[in-house]
Structure 1
Amino acid sequence: MKRLAERIEARTPAHRDRAIDGLRALALLAVPTGHWLLGGFTLSDDGAIHNASPLSAFGGLAPASWILQMLGIFFLVGGYASVLSFRRHEGPVRDWLKGRLARLGRPVLGVTAVWAALLPLLHYGFGVPGDTLRTASTLVVQPLWFVGVYTVVTALTPYCVRAARRLGVWAAAPLLGSVAVVDLLRYGPYADAVPSWLSVLNILPGWLFAYQLGVSWGEGRVTRRHAWGLLIGGAALFAALLVWFGYPASMVGVPGEARTNSHPPSLLVLALAATQSGAAILLRDRLGKLLRRPALWAPVVVVNLSAMTILCWHQTAMLAAAIPASYAGEITGLVGAPDSVGWILARLAWMPLFAGLLVLIGRYARGFESPWTGTGTARRALAGVLAAGFAVFALGLA
């Protein structure tokens, strides 16, 4: 490990912004950690597993979701990195966008195509119940919505750059205001007269908010004074929304709850993103110095090189443990109602197994992140058809 760290250190360019990579790695690892800790399974009489959450029984765990919900950091860093890449690019903007979007699309196409092939094999070959496969499909798709949203905001990068150059950090303010207006309509005194589809209007501005902050940061338009404003203002807004406006405390959906913060993002999500963004900007220099140590820098590089693999396959790793275990009946922390302290402790003990399975899967799945230069047109078309078929099944259309 020491030799590996030394080789990575030797190959790292002197101009590499280690703090940005460190923040990205932190946000990436928060995704599987959150899903593994706050997601569980119940076992029905027919042996099928169904989604459940310890948050249903332990509302006091909601603050954990404030820490584990780090998509604000991910979008912030994504905006910052996109500006640097956009600035270095020579040639038409469409070529830059094509390259960025291909890096996002290949791993998604890979995981959905593989699962499309696995579904009939698991059902007809190994007798896995249909409800288990629907549960699995839902979990596999769950993190992929993020890739779709990130694809859209990435395509808007040229416009975000123009806004940042003209308005600086304030370019994100209209996005915050837009979400606030929609939330007022959804939850205000006239909420009964508002159509349910109105919440969809929050999806783009809700996630573009932190990305725009990152673009402004990359353009050098965010100062430490601005960062303190984001940190303090975001925290104050977050507290006010919880205490006086009745927003749900959990940043992730809780089964049985009528309201959710993240799907689509509510104003509370933006308040948390502002708080996290301010803290990240203020801590950038310290984090950069800390990551000068090869032993700390090496895992950051490994995580960043496997970013899409982690995002796309971490639910598969948990399912690889849970589905076989379901044949043995209820196993605390793995398959069984997440409604006890014992379950929480057991789930913590299962986490290394999930991580190990993800590493094993990643050895083979990481190839989807590389350009498919050796893949013919027919194979690409087959992968597309399989992915589309899986999407139809996962979304409950079949």
Structure 2
Amino acid sequence: MRRLARLAARTPADRERYLDLLRGLAIIMVVLGHWTIATIYHNDRGQPDGHSALPEIPWAYPLTWAVQVMPLFFLVGGYANAASLAAHRRRGGDATGWLLGRSARLLRPTTALVLVLAGGAFVGRLAGVDPSMVRTVVWFATIPLWFLAAYFAVVPLTPPMYALHRRFGLAAPVALALLVAVGDLGRGLGPDWVALPNYLLGWLAIHQLGFAWYDARQGDCRHDRRRHDARQGHRPPDRTPAGGRAGIRTRCLPMSRPAALTMVAAGLTVAVLLTGPGPYPVNMISLPGERLANAAPPSVALLAVATAQLGVILLLRERAERWLRRSRPWQAVIAVNSVVLTVFLWQLSAVVLLVGALNGLGVLPTPAAGSAAWLAWRLPWVLMLAVVLAGLVAVFGPIEARTGRSIANRRPEHAGRGPAGGHGGTGRPRGDGRPAGRWAGVRGVLTVAGFAAVVFAMAANSATAKTAPEPLGLPVAALLAYLAGAGTLRVLRSGWGSRG
């Protein structure tokens, strides 16, 4: 508690605390949503299995408009990435150094999950457990990785996409949304693979709005062309207030109450039209068999709902910010965010452990989805899972917490050199701490390759059937790619190649 109090006291006055609250609440909603909607049953071989109860409770489809919070992660991620990239560059760091720093916070908790699951699968195989059963358990526990695959693809694009934002402002997410609509049209009229780019384009559109929120906080709203004209003696740069009107080329997210109400009304209207008379399903959490699934990949209907959600978030912002100025609420937010990725990653491992324990004791309830017994079982089920997850967070949470503290405590002069501030390679470093010459290019290429390998590994795992006979639970190619990518990024963070 004393450490939390010290951290709360040291929080900069200009920090957007509301975004930290949103990140923590989004994780909690995801966890509770996954736990609540799960239904457990015994398959034909008498083994416990599970699936989503949504197909059996269609009355809950409209509720997914509120509990589909994946857009929040990319909105908050866009703000956080823009803020940290700008601060990193002010300290003299380069884009590669920034990417390596971001990879540490994301990869260390994720690697712990991957290694524990692979090790557990190996032990299970030695004990004679059927490979398909091993894969089923690991597949279920690694469902959260599908989201991280999308986020890991977006993060390396932050430097060029932020430059695009600085040039075109809000026109960039509008253009991305139009491309998502084109992808939806393609999968509506043709094969599903036509919309594969939407996995990236949809989340990028929301990520760009996070950039706009950050620039609104900085009061820096005009695009670079007008700033250039000002330097040439033409119209001076306009620092348009966050709630002001500057057209679609403004870099700032409109933050006023009328703008927020417009977002809510417009987002809901478009979403209703697209899911009512339109072809999109009402459900915003994709289910098997849906032709125009809204979340896999993101659809324009999901972007419309995300717009309405953003409006609601802005309407609550001022009141939430005042509340977060109080010490105890802010300490609670700090505590949650220090292990937020650990909670997200291990949420379904808690389900696996609890189901295995109850099944082993012969007391595993398996009521039919949507039945009165199933509804009554929701509260004790969630409470028991919370206890199991708390134990997992106690064990694995310090990995994430220590990573966050090491990054936060890094001295500014080490920017661009990796968390430890060390050097590697050969030659003489440049005065700003960045690698010079050909090593800079090699280091950048290897960093992007490391991210790409991790994205491939997570996507390949999600695409592999849950009953595939994988001896280590994870597909061998995916596991090797993940270890290669994460290992490469770890070596680069240690300082290799930071000298030219």
Q: Equivalents in 1 of 2:463, 2:193: separation in Å?
A: 21
Alignment of structure 1 residues 88-237 onto 2, 5 Å: 88-89=87-88, 90=91, 91-122=93-124, 124-125=126-127, 130-187=131-188, 191=189, 194-220=190-216, 221-223=252-254, 224=256, 226-237=259-270
> Structure 2 vs 1, CA of residues 148 and 394 (structure 1 numbering), >3 Å: closer, same or farther?
closer
Alignment of structure 1 residues 252-267 onto 2, 5 Å: 252-255=285-288, 257=290, 259-267=292-300
Partner of 1:381: none
- TM-score, with structure 1 as normaliser: 0.86
Q: What do the CA deviations read for 1:283-306 (whole angstroms, capped 9, x no partner)?
A: 222111112233322221111111
TM-fit CA distance, 1:322: 0.9
Partner of 2:498: none
The answer on whether the counterparts of 2:82 and 2:211 sit within 8 Å (CA) in structure 1 is yes
Q: Equivalents in 1 of 2:10, 2:391: separation in Å?
A: 25
Alignment of structure 1 residues 320-339 onto 2, 5 Å: 320-329=353-362, 331-332=364-365, 335-339=366-370
Q: Equivalents in 2 of 1:214, 1:172: separation in Å?
A: 10
Alignment of structure 1 residues 262-273 onto 2, 5 Å: 262-273=295-306
Larger % of helix: which? 1
TM-fit CA distance, 1:139: 2.0
Q: Equivalents in 2 of 1:96, 1:7: separation in Å?
A: 27
> Structure 2 vs 1, CA of residues 38 and 350 (structure 1 numbering), >3 Å: closer, same or farther?
same
> Structure 2 vs 1, CA of residues 255 and 195 (structure 1 numbering), >3 Å: closer, same or farther?
closer
The answer on whether the counterparts of 2:186 and 2:195 sit within 8 Å (CA) in structure 1 is no
> Structure 2 vs 1, CA of residues 175 and 256 (structure 1 numbering), >3 Å: closer, same or farther?
closer
> Structure 2 vs 1, CA of residues 252 and 205 (structure 1 numbering), >3 Å: closer, same or farther?
same
Q: Equivalents in 1 of 2:22, 2:192: separation in Å?
A: 35
Q: Equivalents in 1 of 2:164, 2:273: separation in Å?
A: 29
Task: Give the counterpart letter for 1:358 in structure 2.
Answer: L
> Structure 2 vs 1, CA of residues 240 and 75 (structure 1 numbering), >3 Å: closer, same or farther?
same
The answer on whether the counterparts of 2:54 and 2:60 sit within 8 Å (CA) in structure 1 is yes
Task: Give the counterpart letter for 1:248 in structure 2.
Answer: P
The answer on whether the counterparts of 1:40 and 1:52 sit within 8 Å (CA) in structure 2 is yes
Q: What do the CA deviations read for 1:36-80 (whole angstroms, capped 9, x no partner)?
A: 112222212433122322212111011232222111111111111
Q: Equivalents in 2 of 1:82, 1:27: separation in Å?
A: 18
SS at match of 1:260: coil
> Structure 2 vs 1, CA of residues 145 and 53 (structure 1 numbering), >3 Å: closer, same or farther?
closer
TM-fit CA distance, 1:230: 2.8
Partner of 1:54: 53
SS at match of 1:219: helix
Q: Does the alignment pair 1:295 with 2:317?
A: no
Please identify, of 283-292 and 207-216, the stretch whose mean Cα deviation from structure 2 is larger: 283-292
The answer on whether the counterparts of 1:47 and 1:326 sit within 8 Å (CA) in structure 2 is no
> Structure 2 vs 1, CA of residues 366 and 6 (structure 1 numbering), >3 Å: closer, same or farther?
closer
Count of residues in Structure 1 that have an aligned counterpart in Structure 2: 379
SS at match of 1:249: coil
TM-fit CA distance, 1:328: 4.4
Partner of 2:393: 362
TM-fit CA distance, 1:338: 2.1
Partner of 1:342: 373
Q: Equivalents in 1 of 2:392, 2:106: separation in Å?
A: 19
Structure 2, unaligned runs of 5 or more:
217-251, 407-418, 421-452, 471-500
Q: Equivalents in 1 of 2:41, 2:151: separation in Å?
A: 32
Q: Equivalents in 1 of 2:461, 2:75: separation in Å?
A: 32
Q: Equivalents in 2 of 1:85, 1:299: separation in Å?
A: 23
Q: Does the alignment pair 1:306 with 2:308?
A: no
Task: Give the counterpart letter for 1:105 in structure 2.
Answer: L
Q: Does the alignment pair 1:73 with 2:142?
A: no
Q: Does the alignment pair 1:247 with 2:247?
A: no
Please identify, of 349-358 and 3-12, the stretch whose mean Cα deviation from structure 2 is larger: 3-12
Identity of aligned pairs, percent?
34
Partner of 2:317: 284
TM-fit CA distance, 1:346: 0.6
The answer on whether the counterparts of 1:168 and 1:222 sit within 8 Å (CA) in structure 2 is no
- Which structure has more relative contact order (CA 8 Å, sep 6+)? It is 1
Q: Does the alignment pair 1:23 with 2:22?
A: yes
Please identify, of 15-24 and 291-300, the stretch whose mean Cα deviation from structure 2 is larger: 291-300
Please identify, of 155-164 and 90-99, the stretch whose mean Cα deviation from structure 2 is larger: 155-164
When Rg is computed on C-alpha atoms for both structures, the one with the higher figure is: 2
SS at match of 1:16: coil
Q: Equivalents in 1 of 2:288, 2:261: separation in Å?
A: 36
Please identify, of 303-312 and 133-142, the stretch whose mean Cα deviation from structure 2 is larger: 133-142
SS at match of 2:170: helix
